[in-house]
């Protein structure tokens, strides 16, 4: 199945639309923020040009059917809150990894849980995935809580060899 999704995903409070070049400021805000990126082992962005390059890569990955990324928008205020994606699809297209980030002012308001539920539904019902995985830092309590609350279970037998401080969660259909 092609990942290109012309329709937005919607929940009670949110619209999830494909990330595009209108999201440079959001991507820069997310990827240059030390609070947001605390548990991500990558350097912070220093320029908006890095965000432009990142979005261009996301658009290429979408065109190549490798990943899909959404911008999370509050329906009432039209504020951009964060992003969420399905990426790292398995060769057989049965497993994908979910990734997400949120601006700090929107932490602990249930937005990411609401967005994650829409992406899980899309992954299982539209892409026909059999499992969705999430890799998170062992110290990221909020991410672990989010995943457990949405039915993911920790896979203690698997290790992230690239990032040993990560743990892996899986949700099976």
The tens-digit pLDDT sequence of the chain (173 residues) is: 556 555 799 999 999 999 999 999 999 999 999 999 999 989 999 999 999 999 999 999 999 989 999 999 999 999 999 999 999 999 899 999 999 999 999 999 999 999 999 999 999 999 999 999 999 999 999 999 999 999 999 998 888 888 889 999 999 99
Name residue 74's beta-bridge partners. 14
| Confidence (pTM) | 0.94
- Where does 80-130 show beta strands of DSSP type E? 80-87, 95-102
- Report how far residue 86's alpha carbon sits from residue 16's, in angstroms, rounded to the nearest whole number: 13
Tokens of 130: 């059999």
* 134 contacts 147 by C-beta, under 8 angstroms: yes
* 173 contacts 131 by C-beta, under 8 angstroms: yes
Burial of 86: CB neighbours in 10 Å, binned 0-12, 13-18, 19+: buried
Q: What pLDDT does residue 120 have?
A: 98
């Amino acid at each position: 199945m092609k990942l290109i999704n012309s329709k937005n995903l919607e929940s009670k409070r949110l619209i999830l639309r494909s990330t595009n070049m209108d999201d440079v400021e959001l991507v820069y805000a997310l990827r240059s923020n030390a609070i947001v990126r605390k548990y991500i082992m990558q350097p912070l962005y220093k320029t908006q040009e890095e965000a432009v390059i990142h979005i261009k890569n996301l658009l290429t990955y979408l065109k190549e059917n490798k990943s899909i990324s959404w911008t999370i928008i509050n329906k009432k205020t039209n504020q951009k809150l964060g992003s969420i994606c399905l990426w790292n699809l398995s060769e057989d297209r049965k497993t994908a990894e979910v990734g997400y980030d949120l601006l700090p002012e929107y932490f602990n308001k249930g937005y990411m849980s609401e967005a994650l539920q829409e992406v899980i539904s899309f992954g299982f019902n539209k892409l026909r995935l059999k499992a969705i995985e999430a890799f998170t830092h062992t110290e990221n309590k909020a991410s672990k809580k989010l995943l457990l609350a949405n039915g993911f279970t920790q896979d203690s037998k698997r290790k992230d060899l690239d990032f040993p401080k990560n743990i892996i969660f899986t949700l099976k259909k």
